[in-house]
Chains A and B, each alone.
Chain A
Amino acid sequence: MTATTALLLTIIVPLFSGLFMFLFPQSLRRVKEGLFILSGLAGLYLAILLFKQDLLFSLPWISPGIELSFRLYNFSAFMILATAFLGFLIAAYSVIFMQGKKFSAQFYGYFLLCLAFSNGVFLANNLLLLLFFWEGLLLLIFGMISVGNPDAFKTATKAFIIVGVTDLCFMLGIALTAYLSKTMLISAINLPLNSPLVNLTFILLMIGAISKGGAMPFHSWIPDAAVDAPLPFMSLVPAALEKLLGIYFLTRLVLDLFQLTEHSGLSTLLMVIGAITIILAVMMALVQKDYKRLLSYHAISQVGYMILGIGTALPIGIVGGIFHMINNALYKSGLFLTAGSVEKQAGTTNLEKLGGLGRKMPVTFGCFLITAVAISGVWPFNGFFSKELVYDAAIERGWIFYIAAVLGSFFTAASFLKLGHAAFLGKSNAANDKTREAHPMMLVPMVVIAIVCVIFGVFNQIPLNYLIQPVLGVKSAGHNFSGFPANMTLVVITFVVLGLALVNHILGAKAKGSGLHALDHIRYAPGLAKIYDLAEKRFFDPYNWGLGLVNIISRISFGIDRGINWLSDGLTVRLAYGLSSGIRSMHNGNYSVYLAWSLAGMLVIFGFLVIF
């Protein structure tokens, strides 16, 4: 197999096996499951085959200058490998998890198409092609959410509208980019941010990218989807693929498509978005009482670190952002998978009803522990190293960003302490006495992910030196980001903050008598309580505001429409009928009247002719 064939197959294989799922009847369920896993495996094989290759594939397409162009280089190869790796593991997990679910084959279809389109985004070297794959993902997200529980359709619509609106910005940005750079070839674009139009283009594309990543204020569908969508979707898309896609493209924006400089306004804008996302989302995560909902807020919060890191436009920040992206994809997928096995085995993810699962599901608990400490940023797990890189970059741009990031870390640790305590420790709930460990095929993916989390932490030079640093090319020449963090002050502060989180949890749990309520002193803190109340009523959901605005606009439009309708269907018709019956009553059949009209007419004409 030549490398070019392998390149095309990374898109073609999942595309066609995905279509197979839709085209063939449900009776082929076993065949479909087999094909599903095989396609995942084939994707992984192809990704390994293509790794570390440089390829440019081009075919004549719409017109000269708009070629069907794919480009494989170190960054896209890395992304494809990550997608294939997680895709394969989650696929294997899904086959067990989706057993007996009504729309399982449909879900597999969307899943595979999603892999195909993601690979398309990573490989596309033409703006149009990129747009095609990017917008295609929107439909697939809609499809995957909608096959969840009965309420899922509403959530799917919400996701569709939010992502659709930002995709529209993205589309506009693509058009402007093509206009400004006078080429469709992505590898040939490198625009200096020197005019308002270029800045606008950057912002439009950035909106598309961070919305795909799930950053605020485009996040509000994710917690809803966490409850409504099938769980493997959460593990695949919001946890992994969305980060990979959004942050991949954001990195391309910052590094290749535009010349973003440090200390520029756009760079600060990105950092502000990142910092706000970290804090607000993690604050919401603190008070969640549902396993999956809590994780989903972390999925939002973590993307803040990536945006903050990349937004610094410093090599260390970008490296940190990308490293955090791959780390987050790993441990967040892992965490969602643990949520899935809890859901599958205990029948619920409501933390009020869970407890003491640690002894009954030891492997799941072990995987949860590793991934949870990784996301909290505990040495020597991968999250620690990527966060330290981001801190380093953040403090260089301003202490306020650093404070936000460290505070986010504190709350992250606190909420995972609460989650672990409430779900796996404490008193066992009578309802789930019979809960057993999950199916081995569901455990293996979790374990593999947990192991990779450890490897990426302990041997962090592997991802940093082989996967990430090449992405920056000459920009990072001479730097070394691997090994133990250089800035010891920051490391000490991190340890102190994590310690504080632990103390906070122990004291809180003791005061309230349960792990679930360990953070209630924050939830009901004076000043915060009101804000939390409003947030739980979804007062801060930009989607609801948007819907309200749309509602107002549609009411106004309806009023205008009624007005026009009254003019055309009411007033005009009444006028015409009034005139008509008036005229009719004048025609009374009286000959002398008709004669009088004629003579009057004649006199008027005569007068007119004489006078003029």
Chain B
Amino acid sequence: MYALLVLVPFLSSFMLNLPFRKLNKRLSFGVGAALFLLQMAVVIIPGLGLDKINPAVLANILNFDLGVDALSRVMLFCIGLVALVTLCANSLFLKDSDDKFNFINMLLIAVAGMNGIVLAKDIFSLYVFLEITAVVSFILIAFNREELGLEGAFKYILLSSIATVLMIAGIALFFLASASTNFAAIHSALLAQDKSLLINLAMALFLSALFIKAGLMPFHGWVPDAYTAAPAAASVFLAGIITKTAGIYVLIRILVSITGFSLTIKSVLLFIGAFSAIIGALAALTQSDFKRMLSYSSISQMGYIILGVGSGTVLGLAGAALHIFNHAIFKSLLFVNSAAVEKALGSRDINKMGGLGSRMPITSLTSVLGSLSCAGIPPLAGFWSKLIIIIALWSAGYQIYAVIAILGSILTLAYFLCLQRSVFFGKLNAEFKNIKEAGFSLVFPALLLAVIIVGVGIFLPLALDRFILSFNTILGG
């Protein structure tokens, strides 16, 4: 049934563009929302048939090799959730109904692409889905057809195309080594031969490509510009899920399914992770643009996830997956908040803001929750994932990296407190006396995400065993 997760969004987008455009336009929001909800439901509720085998007909038409494990489930759920939030946020920002309709089409294609990435068990299919997602991302960043957006999109295209080149070269080298593109086949071929220069080159190419996609330092050049320049809803989508799926998930998939964790790769990951976590947080500290600060924060949080992966243990992977989930939620929330503030003020300069808490209580409250979750304050959701990552690092023998992770958390708290103080607390600028809380379509997703942050934070200990145990099968499986 996995194929349906890819096919249905694709076909919906296709169908929506058939005749009866007027009707389709009105239907598009409902279709999108229903699909995304369904995707989340399929993951959570076992009876809905995610694990059923593809019907023979489908298997004959589409000869993809797809599969699902604990990590893919987390990703599928996040994709559905963030897409839903983006859909809501978008409906406020785009006035033109054509634009709205186009945006939803893009969203559907991106979701199809990401579902494909998550489910693929073949390195070339994975590459194809990755490219689908990347192309949609370019369009989304430049969606408003403004100068900044185009510049951001262009930077992304250029760096991303380099990543593509590196990756296709890597795939070619793997193919050379194993005469197959299937994960399992490559894995066994790599086991058979010693680590040659060729394999190392392939690994270096792959890692660099994925670091670019994930926006890790020093491969992150496109991230601040793209996130900042993108339309509000697009940055929610981009920061919330696309970079995580295209970068982090693929990285984990390659490591888990193909190369395995060697000591050298772990060192590279840990170093890049710690570097991104600390430098990203430091860079965020003095930003004056709301979204730019959030984008550096994203770089820093990607670093955390990579630190968890770099520990090379099941616990670390579980922590990384949980942090992917948490980050998808709190970063989406914060971008939604930034969209609300931008909508109300028409500006993103935090130095000009102040005292907005009294005018926008829900935005203020939810952004505090999101920030604290990001900084890893108990009992919010972000605390647990950071805790698991730190414990994993410590117990894997990387005590220094565990300490760095904790220091990074302090920096995270520092810049978020700066942000909160200058935006929502303090004296209200007279200029903004008449502003109001953002509309329902921004308040609703903010509240939904905040409830998830608190709920997951409080009830996580209950689900922890099940969650981590389900990761037990990832390594060596």
Q: Check if B211 is an interface residue, CB within 8 A of chain A.
A: yes
Chain B residues, Cβ within 8 Å of A605: 204, 207-208, 268
A609 with B166: CB separation less than 8 A:
no
Chain A residues, Cβ within 8 Å of B318: none
A598 with B267: CB separation less than 8 A:
no
A54 to B45, CA, bound (A): 80
Q: Check if A180 is an interface residue, CB within 8 A of chain B.
A: no
Q: Check if A567 is an interface residue, CB within 8 A of chain B.
A: no
B225 with A597: CB separation less than 8 A:
no
Chain B residues, Cβ within 8 Å of A584: 283, 286-287
A160 to B285, CA, bound (A): 50
A608 to B264, CA, bound (A): 8
Chain B residues, Cβ within 8 Å of A583: 279, 282-283
A594 with B204: CB separation less than 8 A:
no
Q: What distance in Å separates the Cβ of A607 from its nearest Cβ neighbour in chain B? A: 8
Q: What distance in Å separates the Cβ of A219 from its nearest Cβ neighbour in chain B? A: 53
B159 with A608: CB separation less than 8 A:
no
A608 with B268: CB separation less than 8 A:
yes
A598 to B282, CA, bound (A): 20
Instruction: Give A578-606 as 1s and 0s: 1 = Cβ < 8 Å from B's Cβ atoms.
Output: 01110110010101011101101110011
B218 with A600: CB separation less than 8 A:
yes
Q: What distance in Å separates the Cβ of A238 from its nearest Cβ neighbour in chain B? A: 55
Q: Check if A31 is an interface residue, CB within 8 A of chain B.
A: no
Which chain B residues (400-435) contact chain A, with CB distance < 8 Å? 411, 414
Which chain B residues (195-213) contact chain A, with CB distance < 8 Å? 197, 200-201, 203-205, 207-208, 211-212
Which chain B residues (282-296) contact chain A, with CB distance < 8 Å? 282-287
- Which residue from chain A places its CB closest to the CB of B265 in the assembled complex? A609
Q: Check if B191 is an interface residue, CB within 8 A of chain A.
A: no
Given A580-B286, A610-B200: A597 touches B267 (CB 8 Å cut-off): no
Chain A residues, Cβ within 8 Å of B286: 577, 580-581, 584
Given A608-B267, A608-B268, A609-B203: A598 touches B283 (CB 8 Å cut-off): no
B200: which of A579, A589, A606 is its contact (CB, 8 Å)? A606
Q: Check if A576 is an interface residue, CB within 8 A of chain B.
A: yes
Chain B residues, Cβ within 8 Å of A593: 221
B208: which of A580, A581, A587, A598 is its contact (CB, 8 Å)? A598
Q: Check if A612 is an interface residue, CB within 8 A of chain B.
A: yes
Mostly helix, strand, loop or mixed at chain B's interface? helix
Q: Check if B162 is an interface residue, CB within 8 A of chain A.
A: yes
Q: Check if B219 is an interface residue, CB within 8 A of chain A.
A: yes
Q: Which of A587, A595, A609 has the most CB of B within 10 A?
A: A609
A602: which of B208, B221, B287 is its contact (CB, 8 Å)? B208
A577 to B200, CA, bound (A): 39
Mostly helix, strand, loop or mixed at chain A's interface? helix
Instruction: Give B209-239 as 1s and 0s: 1 = Cβ < 8 Å from A's Cβ atoms.
Output: 0011000001111101100000000000000
Chain A residues, Cβ within 8 Å of B205: 602
Q: Check if B158 is an interface residue, CB within 8 A of chain A.
A: yes
Chain A residues, Cβ within 8 Å of B224: 587
Chain A residues, Cβ within 8 Å of B200: 606, 609-610
A587 to B267, CA, bound (A): 26
B155 with A606: CB separation less than 8 A:
no
- Which residue from chain B places its CB closest to the CB of A612 in the assembled complex? B264
A581 to B287, CA, bound (A): 9
Chain A residues, Cβ within 8 Å of B207: 605
B225 with A576: CB separation less than 8 A:
no
Given A579-B282, A601-B211, A602-B204: A612 touches B267 (CB 8 Å cut-off): yes
B155: which of A577, A594, A597 is its contact (CB, 8 Å)? A594
Chain A residues, Cβ within 8 Å of B162: 595, 598
A576 to B410, CA, bound (A): 11
Chain A residues, Cβ within 8 Å of B267: 608, 612
B197 with A597: CB separation less than 8 A:
no
Q: What distance in Å separates the Cβ of A599 from its nearest Cβ neighbour in chain B? A: 8
- Which residue from chain B places its CB closest to the CB of A594 in the assembled complex? B221
A598 to B203, CA, bound (A): 15
B225: which of A580, A589, A602, A609 is its contact (CB, 8 Å)? A589
Chain A residues, Cβ within 8 Å of B285: 576-577, 580
Residues of B within 8 A of A (CB): 155, 158-159, 162, 166, 197, 200-201, 203-205, 207-208, 211-212, 218-222, 224-225, 263-265, 267-268, 279, 282-287, 411, 414
Excluding A583-B283, A595-B221, A609-B200, 19 further A-B contacts by CB distance (< 8 Å) are A577-B286, A579-B282, A580-B282, A583-B282, A584-B283, A587-B283, A591-B221, A593-B221, A597-B218, A597-B221, A598-B159, A598-B212, A598-B218, A600-B218, A606-B204, A608-B267, A609-B265, A610-B200, A612-B267
Top 9 closest A-B pairs, CB basis? A594-B221, A606-B204, A602-B208, A597-B218, A580-B285, A580-B286, A609-B200, A583-B283, A612-B264
A–B pairs, 23, beta carbons within 8 Å: A576-B414, A577-B285, A577-B286, A580-B286, A583-B282, A583-B283, A584-B283, A587-B221, A587-B224, A587-B283, A589-B225, A591-B155, A591-B221, A594-B155, A598-B218, A598-B221, A601-B211, A601-B219, A602-B204, A602-B208, A608-B267, A608-B268, A609-B265
